[in-house]
Structure 1
Amino acid sequence: MTAPRVAIAGFQHETNCFGVTKAGLAEFEMADSWPAMLHGCRVIEETRGMNLPIAGFAASALAAGFDVVPILWCAAEPSAEVTDDAFETICSMILAGIEQAGPLDAVYLDLHGAMVTESLADGESELLQRVRALVGPDVPLVASLDLHANISRTMVDLADYLGIFRTYPHLDMAETGARCLLVLQRLLEGDVLHKVFRQVPYLIPLHAQFTGAPPFEALYGSLAGLAKQGVLAEISLGFTAADFPDTGPSCVIYADKAQDATEVANDLMSQFLRLETEVDHSMLSLEDAVVAAQESCSRPLVLADVQDNPGAGGTSDTTGLLEALLLGGSRGVLMGLFHDPTLAAKAHAVGTSSRFHGEIGGKSGLPGQSPVRAEFEVLALSDGSCRYSGEMYGGGIASMGKSAALKLYLYRAEVDLVVTTIRNQCLDLAQFTHFGLNPMDYNTICVKSTVHFRAAFGPIANRIFSVASPGVFLCDLNKIPYKQVQENRRI
């Protein structure tokens, strides 16, 4: 029996429509939190063992005896819209690779689900449409999506199956890719899966989407039991910074019987309606964050600068929380990661153990944001190539560019921090220990991240608070100037 031939490709971007800079082709070609653009066999070779959907799918497919045809994989750090040039160029490469692959039994795509381009509100639907038109209606087309996907009816109709992450922090990305392979095997054996798609009538801010605690822990925990009953339930919680008609949570249910899929969809929607009042939207004010940082703890307090998360399109250079802590005379504080190529270059120029005056942050042109001028001591320097040590990105390498660990002196305060040349979300202890900074030595740790940091920092934290500090990833949804989101989606 001939081994099934499956083409695999990935094109990921989480679009913050209120961001500052757009994602051009260069941003997809470079390495940052993720690997650089990969072509052909490098897709498998250079993602092997990583917690990535395409790695999980490829490993499972090869183990099952599939003939895997890798085309391309790329991702860009979340930002404003993907440029039309980048979208068209990458789509053309994927389509050309599929066409040149010869006869195929199936196609798998590693997508995000919240891509907006300069001209398209629904980037994933456009790519799925083009792939479907190329391979025809009878070739199974499956895709993995991020838990923050904003799913449209078109996406559901075009794909035979959409597998969605079930954890935030995303610890199950490779596992989701492997689940797509299991479903694909069923499709190739002739199974027909009935689909039911439902959209939840309210939005959920990302800092409230943590799946390791109520209310979403039990909701996602129930999905494995449904699978044992023959029903595949996929839930996304949506990405609130993508201003798109279908922004928000949704459910896609697959089952052998249409009635089973409908019943599960109805039950999940009822659960979502009951959970609406349980979602925790709270954030500490800057004043309360300073007070919290002054309390002595046996383990570090973690303050999450949730609205300046580069992993959600933030600039990673706002100074609201830093300024508040400095004015409060805070000491024993560790903060990262600041995206400040100018300051990083100056630190490299003066060298380790040197002191100099400089400016940090506030350089991206955001209204109300200006740099903090202070004295700095260079604690350590690096080329920014850092191997992740945590569960989420384990096996991968952060590319932060020329980076530095600095001690900032201002007023009577002292803050240790890490500055980078390439934007990276602060979500792994290695992003500090790489510079010789031990997070356990500090009273307070401030991370520019929304939830992903919890996988690595949660186990060492005494308490964790989200902080309402300035940034372009607004978590107070009432302040977002939406233009495209459906009017019936409650905030």
Structure 2
Amino acid sequence: MRVFTAALWNETNAFAPFPVDLGNFTQGGLFGPGARPDSHVDGVALCQEARRRARDGAFDLIEGTCAYADPSGLIVRATYEALRGRILAELREAMPVHIVALSLHGAMHADGYDDCEGDLLARVRVLVGPGVAVGATIDPHANLSARMVDAADIIVAFKEYPHSDSDARAVETLDLLIATAEGRIRPVMRAWDSGTLGVFHTSRPPVRHFVDRMLVLEQAGEALSVSLIHGFPWSDAESSGTRTLVITDGDATRAAHLAKLLAHEAAALAPVGMEAPIPMDRAIDLALTETAGPVVLAESPDNPGGGAPGDSTSLLERLIERGVRNACLGPLWDPGAVDLAFRAGVGARLPLRLGGKAGRLSGWPLDGEAEILALDPAAVQTFEGMELAVGRAAAIRFDGVDVVVVAKACQGLSPDLFTRLGIDIASRTIVAVKSSRHYEYEFAAIARRLITLDCPGTLQLDLSAYTYRNLWRPRWPIDPVGAAPFPVTLSTETTR
């Protein structure tokens, strides 16, 4: 059996200020055939699982391009077309194949393409024909389109947010694709739209119960695979929204019934899928009342993990204005400030203009006195047992608040982002991180409390703050009353 794998991965924020070009993919991870990243990345888990199986002799593997860019704004048209062209050319050269397995995000948008994954999968299907098993893993923050469902045999989304199950979903996807190619199953996929645009935190009730139910349905043989596609609220495509996807063995009626049932349940969950964020001043008040251990404030609206620039000054400015000094914040993106810190050296004091440069939602730059506490030309932070590169970083004391400033935008994932630069977070009242959920893995063990902030930024949870042009409407919570759940209609009926 011959298996072809490739990865094309980007979470596109329609409201982020920066476009994504080939340089972003080179910086994030651009690997030619036969090359793969050494560290674990959710976006290539399927490719890595296929490589493990090929080493064990399960099949012959042909590896295509693996391309990953950190979340940001719209992808430059020529960049997407070039990467798509590379993958399709590699697939054409690899043929004949029995399986095409792709690692995709699902919310990737380029200039002129509001559904990159649907476009790529459709071209793959035309190239290989109806007899080849085509499948993909996707992030739950995908925008599941009818074109994607129509072109593929198998689509499996991560079930967990934070994404702790990418390896398990890679195993599931390959198992289903192999069973399809061998004729042991005849997969049928059906999707339903909940009529909502939700944010779901799967590690806490009631969403935890929903995820557990999906697993039970699979274990009981009710379906081959069940996925909740949360959608990415900060994209702007017709297919943006919370959808359910069910795969059965040849039973289209059963797949549609389960997808519809789960879509109604997802619509009911949407208003309580994530705890309400707390305004900055209220969150600071709560933190200051704690007497043991730091309180972690998650500056989710400025999370680079969702395409925000990471240079908002809103929270830092408020901490300074309120005279909160036993606090630290990071990582704040400002390559110019990092460069000045390295030129000045550890121990130097200098006037510094910090942050607030990317756009309106980043706030104003702050002017103050900075003391350079520590410098690291190759900083790292830990996540799930791995060290992830941060790059050039500086720890500065800025008007009394210790700030980790970075030259490359990234989200805060671990306490050692601070401690490796000499900032003792255990003694702090407030530790502020630019992240949404993934920081919880490492910070929960040391934090007295975790609080998600309601503050300005590119990833605001108040979705009414954005102007959507392509999103199918009505849709809750943007509209007071969303649409009732409805089927995602396929462009053609197939018997694959």
What TM-score do the two structures reach when normalised by structure 1? 0.92
Which residue number in structure 1 is paired with residue 378 of structure 2? 384
Residue 427 of structure 1 aligns to a residue whose secondary structure is coil
- Please, which of 321, 326, 336 is the counterpart of residue 332 of structure 1? 326
2:295 counterpart of 1:301: yes
In 2 relative to 1, CA 271–368 (structure 1 residues): closer, same or farther, beyond 3 Å? closer
3-state DSSP of counterpart to 2:360:
coil
| Partner-residue secondary structure (3-state), 1:383 | strand
Q: Is the 8 A contact 1:238 1:248 kept in 2?
A: yes
Q: Give the total of aligned pairs.
A: 471
Q: Indicate whether 1:38 and 2:31 are aligned.
A: yes
Partner of 1:458: 444
Distance in structure 2 (CA, Å) of the matches to 1:235 and 1:172: 14
Residue in structure 2 matched with residue 375 of structure 1 by the alignment: 369
Of all paired residues, the percent bearing the same amino acid is 30
**Contact between 1:48 and 1:55, CA under 8 Å: does it hold in 2?**
no
Counterpart in the other structure of 2:72: 79
In structure 1, C-alpha distance between the alignment counterparts of 2:41 and 2:309, rounded to whole Å: 26
Counterpart Cα distance in 1 of 2:388 and 2:255: 40
Q: SS at the partner of 2:444? A: helix
1:175 paired to 2:168? yes
Going from structure 1 to structure 2, the CA distance change for 1:404 and 1:48 (only over 3 Å counts) comes to closer
Match in the other structure for 1:317: 311
1:84-95 map, 5 Å:
84-95=77-88
- Would the aligned equivalents of 2:71 and 2:307 in 1 still touch at CA under 8 Å? yes
Distance 2:54 2:198 in 1: 35
Do the aligned partners of 1:169 and 1:210 also contact (CA within 8 Å) in 2?
A: yes
Aligned partners of 2:182 and 2:102: how far apart in 1? Answer: 20
Q: Mapping of 1:144-223 within 5 angstroms?
A: 144-190=137-183, 191-205=185-199, 209-223=200-214
Letter of the aligned partner of 1:395 in structure 2?
M
Give the match for residue 406 of structure 2. 420
> Which residue type is aligned with residue 324 of structure 1?
R
> Within 1, Cα distance between the matches of 2:459 and 2:288?
27
Alpha-carbon distance between aligned partners in 1 of 2:311 and 2:41, rounded to the nearest angstrom: 29
Q: Which runs of 4+ in 1 moved over 3 A?
A: 47-52, 60-64
SS at match of 1:171: coil
- The change in CA–CA distance for 1:220 and 1:430 in structure 2 (over 3 A counts) is same
Determine the structure 1 residue equivalent to 2:14. 17
Give the RMSD, CA atoms, in angstroms: 1.8
Alpha carbons of structure 1 residues 179 and 368: separation in structure 2 relative to 1, 3 Å: closer
In the TM superposition, residue 67 of structure 1 has moved relative to its aligned partner by 1.4
Does structure 2 conserve the Cα–Cα contact (< 8 Å) formed by 1:355 and 1:378? yes
- Whether the aligned pair in 1 keeps the contact of 2:278 and 2:454 (CA below 8 Å) is yes
3-state DSSP of counterpart to 2:167: helix
The amino acid across from 1:12 in the alignment is W
Change (3 A) 1:460 1:56: farther
Q: Give the distance between the partners of 2:40 and 2:53, measured in 1 at CA.
A: 11
Hey, what's the Cα distance between the residues in 1 that align with 2:210 and 2:361? 39
Q: Which secondary structure state, in structure 2, belongs to the residue aligned with residue 459 of structure 1?
A: coil
How many angstroms does 1:290 deviate by?
2.5
Kindly provide the CA deviation profile for residues 416-445 of structure 1, in whole angstroms up to 9, marking residues without a partner as x: 111111111112233223323343232211
C-alpha separation in 1, matches of 2:94 and 2:379: 35
CA distance in structure 2 between the partners assigned to 1:167 and 1:47 by the alignment:
23
C-alpha distance in structure 1 between counterparts of 2:197 and 2:318, whole Å: 30
1:359 — aligned with what?
353
Q: Is 2:155 the partner of 1:143?
A: no
* Counterpart in the other structure of 1:246: 239
What amino acid is aligned across from residue 264 of structure 1 in structure 2?
A: L
Instruction: State how far apart, in whole Å, the 2-side matches of 1:48 and 1:185 are.
Output: 26
Distance (Å, rounded) in 2 between the aligned partners of 1:216 and 1:69: 38
Residue 164 of structure 1 aligns with an amino acid whose one-letter code is A
TM-score, normalisation: structure 2: 0.91
Q: CA deviation at 1:275?
A: 2.0
For the structure 1 residues 473 and 361, does the alpha-carbon distance in structure 2 shift closer, same or farther, using more than 3 Å as the test? same
Mapped to 1, the partners of 2:416 and 2:271 lie a distance apart of: 37
Q: Distance in 1 between matches of 2:108 and 2:432?
A: 29
Partner of 1:467: 453
Q: SS where residue 79 of structure 1 aligns?
A: coil
- What is residue 437 of structure 1 aligned with on the other side? 423
Kindly provide the amino acid, as one letter, of the partner of residue 480 in structure 1: Y
1:99 aligns with 2:92: yes
Alignment of 1:478-489 (within 5 A): 478-489=464-475
2:379–2:393 CA contact under 8 A, matched in 1: no
Please tell me the residue identity of whatever aligns with 1:5. Answer: R
- Secondary structure at 2:236 match in 1: coil
1:145 Cα deviation (Å)?
A: 0.3
CA distance in 2 between partners of 1:11 and 1:390 (Å): 22
The reply to whether residue 477 of structure 1 matches residue 463 of structure 2 is yes
